[in-house]
Amino acid sequence: MISQELNDRITRIGPSTPAGAVLRRYWQPAALADELLVEDSVPVNLLGERLALVRNKTGQLVLATRIATDDEPSAFYPNTKDIVIDADGPVYPVVKRQGLYFAYMGSSTPPKFPNFDCFRAPESHVFAFKGLWECNWLQALEIGIDPAHASFLHRFLEDEISHDGYGKQFRDKAAHTDMPMTQILREYPRPNIDVEETDFGLKITALRTLDDGLTHVRVTNQIFPETICIPMSREMTITQWHVPIDDETCYWYTMFTSFQKPIDKDLMREQRLKEHRLPDYAPLKNRDNNYHYDPAEQASTTYTGMGLDINVHDQWAVEGMGRIQDRTQEHLGRSDAAIIRYRRMLRAAIASIEDGAEDLPMLNGTSPSEITGPLSNDAITKSDDWRNASRLADIARRAECPWDATV
């Protein structure tokens, strides 16, 4: 457990806050490119500031300060004709990457983008989407760096489904085996967790010991400050940012990156728009309708009784902690190794800025543009050689990739 003072220090992200100062040193997703297809300007509430994505006098997209009322909801989307720009407020630079508009809200020179797979793959192999969660950004991030939660929160009681709709992509078979991932997660629920510091943040490896001297190795990553990169299947990875709207709400922005076939973006967009409303991308399953909880489904099909979409499972878990999780009452255990390590990194970054230094993860030492990868996959290997075997499995996948995925 931690003190309330420390909890406030690592969760609150307004312009004058310690954690807010850290997040403002990095490019932040501000809007989907899809949002600008219909309107010429888009309201953007980001890091506790009320802003709008607009074009300046030269036609360049920027993020400008928007005049808002004191009682405006955090995820409020006004009619674009009602957007009024504050000529005296800050204006932030914007760049477009793979279907997302990123903004830099710091006072220093913006850093270069890392050479991650999601940024270097061709546009045909990347799809971007977002969703609203009614909770603080940090608890949204921390569920993504807890490898053990999938064995319980995303537990499926049956391994096959009869349709090809949304949710089937989470039921891929583990690499080099006929055993579905759902079965591995269900039957081996308590992984050993190895955490390593990297140039970009943390490499998190969950090891589930199987029979006959074999181990299932699942590698996920925390990309500082608030991003994760995880395997969705043997073909696809997910890079997901947990972006604060304010202290009590956030958006997850996700890039789905394919190593093999081009992505059917129309299908992926259609599937996800059935689960979200526009224009704020709020999920249709939420606390107001109990996330469509079905006790009959919980008895026979899923751990939560909330359908096949694992985003809904995560949403229920993080929103159920309250708008800002009360960490003064928590008791972290062995499976929370990555969460503990991440909080130390965040606290060190806060202290570095307060001391006047810029020694921040992914911004010093190695140039961000030279950081590649990261390795995000699952593999079944011999238990005594899991580290090397996992690396070789990643290299093999990259060698077969139609675009340059070498590292």
Summarised one tens digit per residue, pLDDT across range 244-253 is 999 999 999 9
Considering the entire predicted model, what is its pTM? 0.93
Residue 177 or 391, more confident? 391
Nearest to 294 by CA among 283, 305, 284: 305
3-state secondary structure of 44: strand
Task: Please give the average per-residue pLDDT across 101-118, as a whole number.
Answer: 94
Query: For the chain, what is the mean pLDDT?
Result: 91
pLDDT confidence of residue 178: 65
- Mean pLDDT lowest for which of 44-48, 357-361, 376-380? 357-361
Q: CA–CA distance from 251 to each of 61, 281, 356 (Å)?
A: 21, 9, 30
- As to burial, measured by CB atoms within 10 angstroms (0-12 exposed, 13-18 middle, 19+ buried), residue 384 is exposed
With contact defined as beta carbons under 8 Å apart, do 139 and 252 qualify? no
Q: HSE-up of 283 (CA within 13 Å, CB side)?
A: 26
- Mean pLDDT lowest for which of 217-231, 289-303, 360-374? 360-374
- Mean pLDDT lowest for which of 10-14, 209-213, 324-328? 209-213
Residues 6+ apart with CB under 8 A from 336: 146
Under the banding of pLDDT at 50, 70 and 90, the label for residue 307 is very high
Under the banding of pLDDT at 50, 70 and 90, the label for residue 166 is very low
Nearest to 260 by CA among 378, 401, 375: 401
Q: Which domains does the chain have, with CATH numbers?
A: 27-110 (2.102.10), 112-399 (no CATH)
Residue 363 has pLDDT above 60, yes or no: yes
Token look-up 């728009």 returns 273
Residue 318 has pLDDT above 80, yes or no: yes
With contact defined as beta carbons under 8 Å apart, do 75 and 132 qualify? yes
Of all residues in the chain, the percent with pLDDT exceeding 90 is 74
Give the span between the Cα atoms of 101 and 87, in whole angstroms.
Answer: 22
Angle at which helices 4-11 and 137-144 cross, to 10°:
90
pLDDT confidence of residue 76: 83
